[in-house]
Amino acid sequence: MIGKVQQSNHERGTAGEVIAARNAVKEYPGGILALDGLSVTLYRGEMVGILGPSGAGKTTFLRLLNGSLTPSAGEIRVLGQSLKGIKTGELRRLRSRMSLVQQNHNIIPSLSVAHNVLMGKLGKISTVGAARMLLYLTREERDEVAEVLGRLEIGDKLFSRCGELSGGQQQRVAVARAILADPEIIMADEPIASVDPRTAEVVMNQFRRLNSLGKTVILNLHQVDFALQYCTRLLVLSRGKLVFDGLPEDYRGREIFERSFAGEERRVCCAEA
């Protein structure tokens, strides 16, 4: 049986609000309900881990936040602006203030790592500047990209073609691109799914570093132990509903049983700490 949502002690109201979902519903063709009346407010400077089994609505939620999906009902507000009926130009400007690292990485295999990472700046430079970047990179740009890649331990791949990299390396290129964009909000969908535990720590340390600089970080994760270690707030989704919203210490040692779409109960928690 799904338990009552546990509310954290975060400040309520609009002060510091960066994201607000109000009764958000997303229904896909065929009557598949990915989100079912989700209401939640996220605040500036939080590092939020979103947990839940596959099909819980985690990816749909992030795609609603960046405007690549529209809700079937309800409202999404990001950085004080409603996404309902937002115009293309307004959405483009809003997206320049946030980054989303998707599971498929969205890299261009034929381009170098450096060029793929620099694409994180496309929303903030002119068309002429973007075209110039494809032809040559300034020393400052090379140094900037190399510094970010170095923190993710792939500095030696600066001029490698992205198509030659492993899946885990491509994932880190996508993270580097999001970092270079210098967004106010950084979101990532399963950012450590394709890497080994040590590399996962490297990646998560970079998200923590961004959070320490005042960025709001929102991560979809399957690894509960990493969520407990790194995040300041946890959300748990089940079948499109929010079943837990609270601090990691309130979740640690708890067991939340969720019913999967196959109708079988599964455990979405870690063992006692």
The answer on 108 and 178 residing in a single domain is yes
Q: Are 117 and 173 in contact (CB under 8 A)?
A: yes
Q: Which of 59, 185, 177, 23 is nearest to 113 (CA)?
A: 177
Per DSSP, helices labelled H in the chain are 58-65, 88-95, 113-118, 127-135, 139-151, 167-180, 197-212, 224-230, 248-251
Which CATH number belongs to the domain containing residue 239 in this structure? Answer: 3.40.50.300
Listed in sequence order, the residues at least 6 apart from 121 whose beta carbon sits closer than 8 Å to its beta carbon are 180, 181
State residue 10's pLDDT score.
Answer: 45
State residue 124's pLDDT score.
Answer: 65
The answer on 71 and 190 residing in a single domain is yes
| pLDDT tens readout for residues 211-233 | 999 999 999 999 999 999 999 99
The answer on 81 and 5 residing in a single domain is yes
* 5 CB neighbour count, 10 Å cutoff: 15
Q: Which domain holds residue 136?
A: 102-182
Average pLDDT over residues 229-249: 94
Structure tokens at 25: 């519903």
Which of 61-65, 111-115, 235-239, 263-267 shows the lowest per-residue confidence on average (mean pLDDT)? 263-267
Q: Are 71 and 60 in contact (CB under 8 A)?
A: no
* Rounded Cα gap, residues 175 and 170, in angstroms: 9
| pLDDT tens readout for residues 31-54 | 899 999 999 999 999 999 999 998
* Rounded Cα gap, residues 228 and 120, in angstroms: 29
Last residue of some domain: 182, 216, 247? 182
| pLDDT tens readout for residues 133-173 | 767 788 898 899 999 999 999 999 999 999 999 989 999 99
CA distances from 228 to 52, 231, 244, 250 (A): 14, 6, 14, 10
Give the chain's domain count.
2
The answer on 252 and 134 residing in a single domain is no
The answer on 154 and 236 residing in a single domain is no
The answer on 86 and 3 residing in a single domain is yes
Residue 122 DSSP symbol:
G
The answer on 86 and 193 residing in a single domain is yes
The answer on 232 and 125 residing in a single domain is no
Structure tokens at 266: 């599964």
Last residue of some domain: 153, 182, 211? 182
State residue 201's pLDDT score.
Answer: 96
The answer on 211 and 131 residing in a single domain is no
The answer on 246 and 203 residing in a single domain is yes
Last residue of some domain: 182, 215, 243? 182
The answer on 203 and 79 residing in a single domain is yes
Query: Could you tell me which residue, 262 or 133, shows the higher pLDDT?
Result: 133
The answer on 214 and 125 residing in a single domain is no
State residue 121's pLDDT score.
Answer: 76
Asked whether the predicted pLDDT for residue 97 surpasses 80, the reply is yes
